[in-house]
Amino acid sequence: MIIMKFGGSSLANAERIRHVVDIIKMHIDEKPLIVASAMGDTTDNLLEAVDRALAGKVCIKDIRKLHLATAEELEVNPDVIKDLFDELKNLLSGIALIKEFSPRTRDYLVSFGERLSVRLIAGYLNRIGVEAKFFDAWDVGFTSNNDHNNGEILEESYAKIDETLGHLNSHYAFTPIITGFIAKNKNGNITTLGRGGSDLTASVLGAALRAREIQVWKDVDGILTTDPRIVSTARPVSNISFEEASELAYFGAKVLHPRSIIPAMCKKIPVRVKNSYNPTHPGTLILSMLDDSNEMLRVLTFKKKVTVVDIVSTRMLGQYGFLAKVFQIFDEHKVSVDMLATSEVSISLTLDNRENGLEGLEAALDKIANVTIKKGKTIVTMVGNVRRSSEILERTFEVLSASGINVQMISQGASKVNISFIVDDSEADTCIRELHRTFFEAA
Ligand code: ADP
Ligand code: ASP
Ligand code: MG
């Protein structure tokens, strides 16, 4: 059994869906379970429909048009999706009426994208004689916590998924098409797993069903040496370890959802990132063990618009007491930290971009420290074999100082697969281009 996940870019229109179905048919002997995202930009279009509803106008013309045109072109009976349009329109009318849009309503609203796409894909497969069934993820056991917009899949889901789909391991009777990105919490409310969350759905399914491989089909030839939108010559990496993939996703590489690698890693299920536009390319294989190749770095990634907080102790708490107090304050304000550097009396750390909500944290920290908050920063992360860190850092400083870029804070992860540092947002693209040239393009 394999899991095949297709992202929005692979499912943009009827032609792309036909192409994806050809890829599925090529793998049919491997008993594929399909995870589908919403078609194209449907998730963004749904969010735009809310903006219109909040301004008093209920309109789903663009979403309806794309899905009905796709049904028509694929010769799928549109009745399979018509009820969803009515439900969506009612929801938007409700939002327009009460002018309120909570995180819970947001999850309910964006769930329509994936619910529409699985119905069309299954309809098309059946029409061409490949027996398929669509499932909303909660019907096969996906239960999440109550964290709307960024839900975590609960441990109990794994046994439930095995109970509902595990039989396909031995008696494969149809191709399941399962919604990515969505789940329900224990109260029965729809939740979502964070943008790009279909990758996580695929990983959870693969782990629950002990799949041979989890394939994540995108519009690029695998994980590339850096973001191709910054460096057009970025090239695919053939192998990468789970730890490395996890770090690069966490530190901003848009190619994988930040938490998607963990379930596969725990069960040691290989993950392959493939290109639906170039299916014969082998893509990137993510594995638990790699022979320690000579390559120093594998991928450069970055996370823009982060906030750096410098906290310098004003009292004589001693380092232990100071760190404990600082983290207690972060815990109380439910603010999580990405990157950290400390000395005896000071801590620098980074937080995700947030315009509001830092006042309480700042006020609490002010009681024990001098606090400086700096916005508009980028975390640049070098992922790979960074055991020879002094050599990497020497080259990094050399090339960045030649470009006049100031490195502001450095940290090396304990897993020895990443080095991160901070630069200004305005210098991020130049920094990535210069480092890519030095580490990946030099002869
Ligand atoms: P999908 O939604 O189809 O699953 P995404 O759009 O989420 O796919 O991810 C693929 C995109 O990620 C690529 O088109 C590319 O622009 C971007 N990307 C950013 N960094 C990288 C990287 N290091 N390697 C590959 N793609 C990357
Ligand atoms: N459709 C969702 C999004 O656009 C989930 C996904 O594509 O994985 O973020
Ligand atoms: Mg995506």
Instruction: Find all residues with CB under 8 Å of 324, minimum gap 6, and list them.
Output: none
Show which of 176, 200, 218 is a domain's final residue. 218
């460096």: which residue's tokens?
231
Q: Nearest ligand, CA of residue 194?
A: 2
């499912």: which residue's tokens?
11
Tell whether 257 is covered by a domain. no
Q: What pLDDT score does 318 carry?
A: 66
Tell whether 237 is covered by a domain. no
Tell whether 214 is covered by a domain. yes
Identify whether residues 49 and 190 lie together within a single domain. Answer: yes
Kindly give the distance from the C-alpha atom of residue 142 to the centroid of ligand 2, in angstroms, as a whole number: 16
Identify whether residues 203 and 318 lie together within a single domain. Answer: no
Q: What pLDDT score does 353 carry?
A: 63
Q: What pLDDT score does 81 carry?
A: 96
CATH code: domain of residue 327: 3.30.2130.10
| Protein residue whose Cα sits closest to atom 7 of ligand 2 | 196
Q: What pLDDT score does 336 carry?
A: 82
Domain of residue 146: give its range: 2-218
Q: 44-73: buried (b, 16+ CB within 10 Å) or exposed (e) per residue? A: ebbeebbeebeeeebebeebbebbeebbee
Asked whether 113 lines ligand 1 (CB < 6 A), one says: no
Q: Residue ranges of the chain with pLDDT lower than 70?
A: 289-294, 315-319, 353-356, 443
CATH code: domain of residue 81: 3.40.1160.10
Identify whether residues 60 and 169 lie together within a single domain. Answer: yes
Identify whether residues 22 and 171 lie together within a single domain. Answer: yes
Kindly give the distance from the C-alpha atom of residue 283 to the centroid of ligand 1, in angstroms, as a whole number: 13
Q: Nearest ligand, CA of residue 10?
A: 1
| Protein residue whose Cα sits closest to atom 9 of ligand 2 | 195
Identify whether residues 170 and 308 lie together within a single domain. Answer: no
The pocket of ion ligand 3, defined by CB under 5 A, consists of 7, 196
Tell whether 231 is covered by a domain. no
Best residue among 41, 181, 216, 256 to mutate for probing ligand 2, ranked by most atoms within 8 Å of CB = 181
Residue 377 is given by DSSP the state E
Best residue among 37, 198, 219 to mutate for probing ligand 1, ranked by most atoms within 8 Å of CB = 219
Tell whether 413 is covered by a domain. yes
Stated length of the chain? 443
Identify whether residues 305 and 213 lie together within a single domain. Answer: no
Kindly give the distance from the C-alpha atom of residue 365 to the centroid of ligand 2, in angstroms, as a whole number: 36
Q: What pLDDT score does 419 carry?
A: 93
Q: What pLDDT score does 236 carry?
A: 97
Tell whether 39 is covered by a domain. yes
Identify whether residues 75 and 193 lie together within a single domain. Answer: yes
Kindly give the distance from the C-alpha atom of residue 196 to the centroid of ligand 3, in angstroms, as a whole number: 4
Distances (CA, A) of 301 to 258, 297, 318: 13, 11, 36
Identify whether residues 179 and 325 lie together within a single domain. Answer: no
Asked whether 258 lines ligand 2 (CB < 6 A), one says: no
Q: What pLDDT score does 291 carry?
A: 62
Show which of 160, 183, 218 is a domain's final residue. 218
Phi/psi zone of residue 160: left (φ > 0), alpha (ψ -120 to 50 degrees), beta?
Answer: alpha
Structure tokens at 124: 């098309």
Kindly give the distance from the C-alpha atom of residue 340 to the centroid of ligand 1, in angstroms, as a whole number: 27
Kindly give the distance from the C-alpha atom of residue 110 to the centroid of ligand 2, in angstroms, as a whole number: 9
The residues that bridge with 307 in the sheet, in sequence order, are: 351
Q: What domain count does the chain have?
A: 2
Identify whether residues 43 and 156 lie together within a single domain. Answer: yes
Show which of 173, 198, 218 is a domain's final residue. 218
Tell whether 89 is covered by a domain. yes
Tell whether 381 is covered by a domain. yes
Q: Nearest ligand, CA of residue 195?
A: 2
Ligand 1 atom nearest 198 alpha carbon: 4
What are the tens digits of pLDDT across the range 338-347? Answer: 888 887 788 9
Identify whether residues 322 and 173 lie together within a single domain. Answer: no
Identify whether residues 75 and 177 lie together within a single domain. Answer: yes
Ligand 2 atom nearest 181 alpha carbon: 5
What are the tens digits of pLDDT across the range 143-202? Answer: 999 999 999 999 999 999 999 999 999 999 999 999 999 999 999 999 999 999 999 999
Asked whether 113 lines ligand 2 (CB < 6 A), one says: yes
